[in-house]
Structure 1
Amino acid sequence: MKIHQRIRTAVMTTTVMLTLSGALGGTAVTLYGDEGMYLFNDLPKETLKSRHDFEITQAWADHLRLSSVRFNSGGSGSFVSSDGLVLTNHHVASDTLHKLSTPERNLIDDGFTARSIDEELKAPDLELNQLHSIENVTDRVNAAVDDDADPETAFKQRRAIIATIENESFESTGFRSDVITLFGGAQYHLYRYKKYTDVRLVWAPETAAAFFGGDADNFEYPRYNLDATLMRVYEDGKPAKLEHFLAWNDQPLQGGELVFVSGNPGRTQRIYTVDALRYLRDDRLPYVLDYLRRKEILMQQFSLNGAEAKRRGRDELFGIQNARKAYTGMLAGLQNPQTFAAKKGREDKLLAAIADDASLAPLADAWQDVAKLQKEKADMLDQSVNLRSSLFSLAMNTVLLAEEDTKPNEQRLSEFTDAGRESLLQRLLSTAPIYDDLETVKLADELSRLIEVRGADDDLVVEILAGKGPRERAAEIVAGTRMNEVPYRKELVDGGRAVVLQSDDPMIQLARWLEPEYRRIREINEKIDERERQAYAKITEATTAVEGTGGYPDATFTLRLAFGTVNGYDEDGKWIEPTTDFAGAFTHAADHEGQEDFDLPSRWYDAKDRLDLSTQLNFVCTADIIGGNSGSPVVDRDGKLVGLIFDGNIQSLTADYLYSDEQARAVSVSAVGIREAIEKIYQAPDLAKSLGQ
């Protein structure tokens, strides 16, 4: 049997349903293939033993957890040396690359390699989180909420106890402390993180190599991308000395190998009811896509103003285009009738079982509660006054902080409590550059959109525009504000409510005008969220009683463990091999000659004779991942790094609400390819040698 036939047989086998014991109950539940984003305090030990003959030890899991990091900008990473090196994706680091770039030093286009410690560039506002412990605080949270409380009261009581728990933890440990809602509100866990805020850029390839193939290849496979970047964490002005970091595997992966992914998947909606998915399909996702298309056109037009405008807008445009393609795939999955047939079949079976059990029958009302809430959520889609520009966001957060600081900690909005203050101030006082021309364009478009949503005669709109058009008013506000000055922002933060109220800064005034409406809309949405949380807690209770649980809750941008095997797949009658190499990259470039996104950097051609072209570059596996997993380390049975997650294929984009490994694949850069490139293309042999040491 040829190797691709053996792999195909393995893929077919993984679609067989598995029976597991639940974490919330002892009943059996069916999972499909390698499904699962598991909590590090509830790992699938029996599953891994029975399916893959792998015994996961506590020491193995603890080492991987402490070697993993979360980027506050969105994404994941891992420690890969004893002296603080952190590996992540180029596109996760692109926000920092953008902020460190200047017209004279374009890190996005040209890449960067520090030849010594002294050359490493400090990120202006990056925070990395290392998860140190998890504590189940469900009983304490639930005890603080009265059984007969209405949704508004219940929300306030829950917010108060969560703020208290977080602050107590922060004061006693010094760690960032976040209470995370799990299983739709059935559990609450306290996550404690060590923070690294002195983070420096060490190496990044050119975007032409990291995003080779551009939008055309995005979410596709085969891929030939070097979507990797190295940073370094510092403590007390020196490279951090780490006990936990990942050793490097210098052997290429083979088909069928078991691998693990440790990362921070963003948000999934697998607990969602059919009615909730219908809301996503018919309302939420089309709304988001319309917004993204609008912003994509805006940023494309801005980029036509010259090379510098293109540089300034490039990172944001990439993010918008990436999101647009991702949401398009998600919507396509929901528009496929088979998706709803699968979800509805399971839901109907579950509701029938609940109806036959008198003790569970009252819980069936929760499905109707969720259905009613979807209409309210649809009505709120356009209700936003959060104008999306950097200067306005800084102003609004400054205004909100000034007001929230006058309240007891347990009564504040969640992001303004004492436990999160350091992270908030790091963002508010960031030294990252802000460009007036880009801010003016973005704010003008947001004001124009506000008119479209609320109407030109709306009292708030009339007050904000002050008799001017959106473009003229935006230009006036941006030209007059001092919110782009860090000392001025610090003056407002330190001065508190009195100083903020006295400020005549036009951006602060804009935020103050919009603050009451922002709070009104937020309060409505929070009430909806609370009612939905209560409904899903009942749905989780009923589902657990009938089916058990797969042992993992929906993703919450917190650390999870996934696993899978290196396998190709069938697409349109063609077998897609699981791995690619450097030779394939050069062939792919030649096949698309004349298309800018397929032009490899010149230094790749300069190094071609030095490269081992058979070196593995990318690979796919069946691990269960979504957005937020970007930058996640992929490790083998020994816990050694074998790859770096950077994408999923187009078939994986339904993973937010439905997992299948028939075709869906996680796409990674191979560890051997990263080392080969750093040593031979970027000619940094000492850096390459230090990986895993």
Structure 2
Amino acid sequence: MKKRLVGLCLALVLLIPPVARANEGMWFLMHIARLNYRDMQKLGLQLTAEEIYSINNSSLKDAVVQFNGGCTAELISRDGLLLTNHHCGYGAIAELSTPENNYLRDGFWAKTRDQELKPKSLFVRFFIRMDDVTQRILSKVNNSMTEEERDRIIREEIAKIERENSEGGKYVVSVRSFYEGNEYYYFVYQDYSDVRLVGTPPESIGKFGGDTDNWEWPRHTGDFSLFRVYAGPDNQPAAYSKANVPFKPKHFFPISLAGIKEGDFAMILGYPGRTNRWLPSAGVQQNVSYAYPAWVEGSKLGMDVMKKYMDKDDAVRLMYATKYSQVANYWKNRQGMIDALTKHRTVATRQKQERIFQRWANKPENRELYGSVMADIQAYYDATNLKARHDNYLMTIFRTATLSIFPVRIKNSIDALLKADAERRNMLKERIFATIDEQYADMYMPLEEDVLAAQLALYSSKSAPYPIAPYIEELRKRTGDNFHPYVANALKASVFSSAERIKAVIELGDIALIEADPIYKISSALFEKYREETPEQKQLEAKYRRAFRLMVDGFRRANPNKAFYPDANSTLRLTYGTVRALPRDPRNDAARNYYTTLKGKIAKYKPGDEEFDLPKRLIDLYNARDFGQYADKAGFMPVNFLTDNDITGGNSGSPVLNAKGELIGCAFDGNIEAMAGDVIFDEKLQRTINVDIRYVLFIIDKFANAGHLLEEMEIRK
């Protein structure tokens, strides 16, 4: 009896994430029919599994694209019209803006197709199909191999699979590892690069609430923008041309004006970027105590320096708008992760689970393969805690200071140029010059000088006792913690002080001038330290990867009848749940705390405030109660709403669909109470924040007078 009870407890405790519970999970579409369909039906789904994912017929997957490699977007018309978040389109909107035509500040709406604007670099990726190649790949390797041997063989087999399925380059094929190398799948994609801006609200709507409201609920943000995919006459990808025509999708989402209520089925398809739900307790502890605090501190420093200059000059603000937004987003995210993981006592919980796992691993039949797994993992983190802190201070330099990384990249390009034959040299030189012009168009030297000096001081003073880059240590001994005078003088003497000076050196072909450059020396020293890997570190890393792979394998073997889902890694996933409220919040005027209203948005209005200002036209529409057909049945104008779907970064812009596969919203954020969602799923508090599709249409139609765009959508009342 006692033995049976212990066995039952063991099975229960081993059910750690990512074993799915209710709304938890980021699922492969090809597994929906087998793993999820019945559960989805119970929640209200009215579609078949084939209507969600089909290789041979059109399905929901055909209306979802990866947007520019880091977000998600969805097709909402038969003429290639795309809906995504404002913050996903932010970089393209900023690029197309000038101080005279500031589309970030004022918004933009193309009245005709000819007026739609093409950014320099923007693409969307369509998912064609996927398949399981686990057996094929893992049959080539065994546990007696070294990690180096294993990696080499797997890389070779992956290259073969990608060649076999690319159809001569027509498709992009990617083989990805899942469950820490225990499964492999290939994904076939098709990329379209002619993507044009169609419309965006002003950032006083699209970014309403700014950094203050980021990751917060209640939320009142119109976080959306519209783009269009163009193709050649054959509907295939084509380089930008005025002769291109709107792309004709296999499927696009009809739009529902019926509204939502608590408990309604909701599913999201998208490209979640990265989760770490298998992360061991020692890894969580390292992030909370070493890595994330350095990330937060370095990011905040970079933001403060950028903001100082952005506030003084609109042109500088446009230059750095995208970078600042990206840094600010992750700054708040990492601080929220520290707070949430600490509050949830995640380390202690996982330590308890790992002790139970260790008992399973110590059984005679498991000991040889799994017995030392947890000890090896702990040893790795004990040895790398200080390095993790150092590396995050170093990485925030690269993220915020262009002069810390650009000189190395240019030097590498010049090396390739000098080695090229005469036929290729002119082509390479033109490409390098174009890169230089593009980079310097987005650099304000007083800011770059300031942020580099400030970040060097932080890095050199806070990374100890882990050894910093030797050259930076030399400079610190000469300058103390004040790098500003040195960097100022170095930049005056540097060829990297202007695009013209770098081009002149390239024309001379004298690489020694670059190598002796004081700014290049800083960049090179930082980059060399970033790439540093001693034999001891390499061996430690290999031992850890093997141990982590076996830990995940062991947890799954201990629970053979449970449905697991893999960590997110920017591959297409589906998550399902319901429209679901949070506990009552006095800051929200809504009757139930699962939606917000335009009334609540107006209540936050602060004239002239960078984050909470509003356009007069929106206020006038509210005062006149001119909501058109987009108001809720109860009479209010909806803005945002909550679901309990399981998402993470990369899902930004994802379609939120009802039980019929109709579009009801666009996902754009999560709530700070469940900020630890990349590591743990909190089924009580974790929420997805979505912009209500009715608010999107209201802004397009009533605010922007762009009703012509609605004519190409399928809107269901």
For the superposition of Structure 1 and Structure 2, which TM-score range results when normalised by the shorter chain? 0.7 to 0.9
Does the CA contact (< 8 Å) of 1:185 and 1:533 recur in 2? no
Q: Deviations over 1:8-62 (max 9, x none)?
A: xxxxxxxxxxxxx9xxxx9999533310001122226554414425464223224
Q: What is residue 470 of structure 2 aligned with on the other side?
A: 458
1:536 correspondence with 2:536:
no
The structural deviation recorded for 1:162 is 3.5
Q: Does 2:646 align with 1:632?
A: no
Tell me the residue number matched to 1:32. 21
Given candidates 612, 616, 620, the residue that maps to 2:642 is 620
C-alpha distance in 2, partners of 1:371/1:269? 17
Task: Please show how residues 251-400 of structure 1 align to structure 2 within 5 Å.
Answer: 251-336=258-343, 338-356=345-363, 358-359=365-366, 362-381=369-388, 382-383=390-391, 384=394, 387-388=398-399, 389-390=401-402, 393=405, 396-397=408-409
Q: Could you list the runs of 5+ residues in structure 1 that have no partner in the other structure? A: 1-20, 408-423
CA distance in 1, matches of 2:191, 2:307: 36
Corresponding residue SS for 2:689 = strand
> Residues 644 and 688 of structure 2 are in contact (CA less than 8 Å); yes or no, is this contact kept in structure 1?
yes
Among residues 580, 593, 598, which one is paired with 1:567 in the alignment? 580
Matched to 1:41, the amino acid is M
3-state DSSP of counterpart to 1:184 = coil
Is 1:473 aligned to residue 490 of structure 2?
yes
Q: Structure 1 CA distance, aligned partners of 2:16 and 2:212?
A: 45
Which of residues 593, 601, 624 in structure 2 aligns to 1:585? 601
Question: Separation in 2 of the partners of 1:501 and 1:394?
Answer: 16
Decide whether aligned partners of structure 1 residues 162 and 220 sit closer, same or farther in structure 2, where only a CA change above 3 A counts.
Answer: same
Q: Which segment is superposed worse, 87-96 or 605-614?
A: 605-614
* Residues 401-480 of structure 1 aligned to structure 2 (within 5 Å): 433-437=441-445, 438-449=447-458, 451-452=460-461, 458-459=470-471, 469-474=486-491, 476-477=493-494, 479-480=496-497
Q: Distance in 1 between matches of 2:468 and 2:290?
A: 25
SS in 2 for 1:276: helix
Note the alpha carbon deviations across 1:267-294, whole angstroms, 9 max, x for none.
1111111122111111111121121122
Quote how far apart the aligned CAs of 1:135 are. 2.7
Contact 1:83 1:241 in 2 (8 A): yes
Q: Give the aligned residue type for 1:557.
A: S
Structure 2 counterpart of 1:206, which letter? P
* Residue 60 of structure 1 pairs with residue 76 of structure 2: no
Whole-Å Cα distance in 1 between the matches of residues 476 and 247 of structure 2? 48
Q: CA RMSD in A?
A: 4.0
The aligned residue for residue 551 of structure 1 is 564
User: Could you tell which deviates more after superposition, 446-455 or 278-287?
Assistant: 446-455
Q: 1:282 to 1:67 in 2, by over 3 A?
A: same
Aligned-pair CA distance for 1:460: 6.6
Q: What is the CA deviation profile of residues 137-189 of structure 1, one whole-angstrom value per residue up to 9, with x for unaligned ones?
A: 33343345464333344444444443454455446342222221211111122
Task: Provide the residue aligned with 2:32 in structure 1.
Answer: 43
Q: Secondary structure at the match of 2:611?
A: helix
**Residue 564 of structure 1: how far off its partner (Å):** 0.9
| Cα distance in structure 2, aligned partners of 1:577 and 1:431 | 46
In structure 2, the residue matched to 1:687 is: 709
After superposition, give the CA deviation of every residue in 1:611-661 in whole Å (9 maximum; x if it has no partner): 245232211000001111111111122222111001111122111111122
Read off the aligned partner of 2:21 and give its amino acid letter: Y
Q: Are residues 683 and 304 of structure 1, via their aligned partners in 2, closer, same or farther at CA, if it must alter by over 3 Å? A: closer
**Matched-pair identity in %:** 24
- How far apart, in 1, do the equivalents of 2:408 and 2:539 lie? 22
More displaced, 327-336 or 510-519?
510-519
**Would the aligned equivalents of 1:566 and 1:622 in 2 still touch at CA under 8 Å?**
yes
Match of 1:31, SS?
Answer: coil
Query: Which letter does structure 2 place at the counterpart of 1:640?
Result: E
**Cα pair 1:447 1:470 within 8 Å, conserved:** no
The residue type paired with residue 690 of structure 2 is S
- For residue 287 of structure 1, what is the amino acid of its counterpart? A
Please state how far the C-alpha of 1:297 moved relative to its aligned partner: 1.7
Moved more, 300-309 or 549-558: 300-309
State the 1:329 CA deviation. Answer: 1.2
CA drift at 1:87: 0.9
Contact 2:19 2:565 in 1 (8 A): no
Instruction: Confirm or deny: 8 A CA contact 1:370 1:535 kept in the other structure.
Output: yes
Distance 1:430 1:474, change over 3 A: closer
**Contact 1:567–1:578, Cα closer than 8 Å, also in 2:** yes
Cα distance in structure 2, aligned partners of 1:535 and 1:70: 33
Shift, 1:74, TM fit: 1.8
One-letter identity of the residue aligned with 1:130: F
CA 1:684/1:146 → structure 2, altered by over 3 Å: closer, same or farther?
Answer: same
Establish whether residue 598 from structure 1 lines up as the match of residue 612 from structure 2: yes
From 635, 639, 647, the counterpart of 2:669 = 647
Match of 1:414 in 2: none
Return the letter of the residue paired with 2:470: D
Q: Name 1:100's counterpart in structure 2.
A: 96
- The superposition leaves residues 241-285 of structure 1 with CA deviations (integer Å, 9 ceiling, x where unpaired) of 222222212221121111111111121111111122111111111
Output the amino acid matched with 2:555: T
Aligned 8 A contact 1:562 1:623 in 2: yes
Q: Which runs of 5+ in 2 are unaligned?
A: 1-10, 233-240, 420-430, 480-484
CA contact (8 A) 2:103 2:202 kept: yes
SS at structure 1 position matched to 2:684: coil
Return the structure number with greater relative CO, CA threshold 8 A, min gap 6: 1
Q: Distance in 2 between matches of 1:192 and 1:679?
A: 37
Q: Distance in 2 between matches of 1:340 and 1:528?
A: 22
Q: Match for 2:207: what amino acid?
A: F
Distance change in 2, residues 1:469/1:247 (3 Å):
same
TM-score if structure 1 supplies the norm length? 0.82
| Partner Cα distance (2:344, 2:175) in 1 | 37
Q: Give the counterpart letter for 1:597 in structure 2.
A: E
TM-score when normalising by structure 2: 0.80
Question: Of the candidates 74, 77, 95, which is equivalent to residue 73 of structure 2?
Answer: 77
Q: Which residue type is aligned with residue 672 of structure 1?
A: R
Q: Distance in 1 between matches of 2:310 and 2:321?
A: 8
For 1:387, give the aligned amino acid. Answer: F
Segment drifting more, 475-484 vs 30-39: 475-484
Corresponding position of 1:18: none
Residues 662, 146 of structure 1: alpha-carbon distance in 2 compared, 3 angstrom cutoff:
closer
The CA deviation at 1:562 is 0.4
Q: Specify the code of the residue in structure 2 equivalent to 1:149.
A: M
- Provide the C-alpha distance between the structure 1 equivalents of 2:640 and 2:117, rounded to a whole number of angstroms: 28
For residues 302 and 74 of structure 1, the distance between their equivalents in structure 2, rounded to whole angstroms, comes to 27
Summarize the Cα distance change of 1:566–1:429 in structure 2 as closer, same or farther, 3 Å threshold.
farther
Question: Structure 1 CA distance, aligned partners of 2:641 and 2:468?
Answer: 53
Number of matched pairs = 644
Matched, 1:235 2:244: no
Q: Does structure 2 retain, via aligned residues, the 8 Å contact 1:122–1:198?
A: yes
Q: Mark the CA change 1:347 to 1:307 in structure 2 (over 3 Å): closer, same or farther.
A: same
Aligned counterparts of 2:529 and 2:599: Cα–Cα separation in 1 = 57
Distance verdict in 2 for CA 1:500–1:229, change over 3 Å: farther
1:677 aligned onto 2:699: yes
Counterpart code for 1:352: R
1:67–1:394 CA distance, 2 compared to 1 (3 A): farther
Letter in structure 1 aligned against 2:443: Y
| Counterparts of 1:80 and 1:587, CA distance in 2 | 32
- Superposed CA offset, 1:55-90 (max 9, x none): 642232242222111123521111111211111100
Mark the CA change 1:217 to 1:583 in structure 2 (over 3 Å): closer, same or farther: same
State whether residues 37 and 49 of structure 2, in contact with CA within 8 Å, keep that contact through their aligned partners in structure 1.
no
- CA offset digits 1:422-478 (Å, max 9, x no partner): xx99x9699574224244444444554565459899347669999971233245446
